[in-house]
Amino acid sequence: MTRIPERYARQARFHGIGAEGQNELAMKRVLLVGLGALGAAVSDQLVRAGVSLILVDRDYVEMTNLQRQTLYAEQDALAETPKAIAAFERLKAINSDVDLNTHIADVSWDWLRPLPHVDMVLDATDNVDTRLLLNDFALERGIPFLFASCVGAYGMNYTVMPGQAPCLRCLMRHLPLAGQTCASAGVVAPIVQHVASRQAVETLKYLTGRHEKMERRLLIEDMWENQSQRLDVARLVDVSCKSCQQHEYPSLVPNRQQTALLCGRDVVQVRRPIEGLEPIANQLERADVSVKRTPFMLEWRWRNHRMLLFKDGRVLVHGVDDTHVAAAMVDECLGA
């Protein structure tokens, strides 16, 4: 048996993991989508435990993130560092032994389809469409999907085990607080850490082969009101579910969505094909537009709206909530 590194000695002494379980962790890889509050917290715990991760996030660090997104510092916000980059640097400083692959990307089926083997998928996102995409991706690959959500002081956790329980698509109409976001209802950091810890421990159980210890119920907790529920949802399987019953996976379709309103922020994301950032920067400067360059994106103002362009052709248009208006502004800047 492989010798256990000293950094994991206390974890390996825990009877639920042991030396054998610790060796199992070293051989596994987890896909974690979203590096906001939940993603920052659960990635920190898993990297310290010795788990290798594929990390994906489409956004950058802002000052409003720092109250709850524990991987980031003020300098990251001032530099508008992409969360995937800031998270990678912080996590590598915590544990340089684990394998970390980070991507500045908006996850789609086109992005997921060529992904190499992963052992499970963790949800740390903030929108229904992406969650259902990850649900279907995990079901199609026959691996667990750990759903998690928090808003206010309220959190939820649920593990989708293919073939053993209802999937997230089955449960969507039964979940409380639909439509509420951190932007509309706020959030306190302790519920984030609590929900992330539940995600992390279920991940450790699965990766070390302790499947019988996994929580199969839907957990709902309100830390402010000191209320919690464990709901047996087995009876909520939808026999007509296209994901877990008919195996059609409706979310696994090529990405055709060119515009999207980001969760509760008055920010619209617009996709456009580009051939690099520098030609766009030069084009804007020729039109007397002041452009800020970073290694990862361009930033400028157009009609008093802040705009950021990433290397993959995504433009974030701030201060608008109409996708048609945002798309028209991007066309004005980049050319239709």
Q: For residue 202, what are the domain limits? A: 6-236
Q: Are residues 64 and 158 in the same domain?
A: yes
Q: Are residues 192 and 309 in the same domain?
A: no
Q: Check whether 257 has a pLDDT greater than 70.
A: no
- Give residue 184's pLDDT: 61
Q: Are residues 185 and 282 in the same domain?
A: no
Q: Check whether 171 has a pLDDT greater than 80.
A: yes
CATH number for the domain spanning 285: value is: 3.30.310
Q: Are residues 207 and 329 in the same domain?
A: no
Token pair 């019953």 in the structure block, residue = 245
Q: Number of structural domains, the chain?
A: 2
Say if 14 falls within a structural domain.
Answer: yes
Q: Count of H helices and E strands in the chain?
A: 12, 14
As a whole number, mean pLDDT of residues 129-147 equals 97
pLDDT band at 127 (very low <50, low <70, confident <90, very high): confident
**Tokens matching residue 287:** 């039109």
- 86-104, pLDDT tens digit by residue? 999 999 999 999 999 999 9
The overall average pLDDT reported for the chain is 92
Q: Check whether 120 has a pLDDT greater than 60.
A: yes
User: Which secondary-structure segment (H or E) carries 68?
Assistant: none
Q: Are residues 114 and 187 in the same domain?
A: yes
> One of 150, 182, 241, 244 is an active-site residue; which one?
182
- Single out the residue of 113, 120, 157 nearest to residue 138, CA to CA: 120
Q: Are residues 212 and 266 in the same domain?
A: no
- 244 catalytic per annotation: no
Domain final position from 236, 271, 302: 236
Q: Check whether 185 has a pLDDT greater than 70.
A: no
Q: Are residues 60 and 192 in the same domain?
A: yes
Q: Are residues 232 and 275 in the same domain?
A: no
Q: Are residues 103 and 186 in the same domain?
A: yes
**Tokens matching residue 197:** 């810890």
Q: Check whether 177 has a pLDDT greater than 60.
A: no
Count the residues in the chain: 336
As a whole number, mean pLDDT of residues 110-133 equals 94
Q: Are residues 124 and 70 in the same domain?
A: yes
Q: Are residues 14 and 142 in the same domain?
A: yes
> In angstroms, rounded to a whole number, what is the distance separating the alpha carbons of residues 69 and 83?
10
pTM: predicted TM-score of the whole model, two decimal places: 0.92
Q: Are residues 218 and 275 in the same domain?
A: no
